[in-house]
Amino acid sequence: MKIELNTDVEARVRELVNSGQFPSIEAAVNYGASLLHEQLAERDRKLADLRATLSASIAEGGNHSADEALAYLAERRASRRQGK
């Protein structure tokens, strides 16, 4: 597979290789891809746990669906990012 990195990312990767932290650009990119995979898996686990918690709450008498609660949380997160 051939990939092209943007200038900033390529410079950081080269810096990591040049400093001896990684033996090659490929090793650095593979490490980064592994970290991304782990982060996405962790995000999916947290989301599944949240959905289970919300579903249990609804089953006990809550009146909002998991999707409604997640949409509300996404709106709050977006508002915080915009400084509102």
Confidence of residue 55 (pLDDT cuts 50, 70, 90): confident
Question: Is 82 a residue whose pLDDT tops 70?
Answer: yes
Q: What angle do CA 12, 10, 37 make, to 5 degrees?
A: 80
Q: Where are the domains of the chain?
A: 7-81
pLDDT at 58: 75
Q: Of 26, 13, 80, which is closest to residue 72 (Cα–Cα)?
A: 80
% of residues, the chain, pLDDT over 70? 98
3-state secondary structure 34-61: HHHHHHHHHHHHHHHHHHHHHHHHHHCC
pTM of the model: 0.62
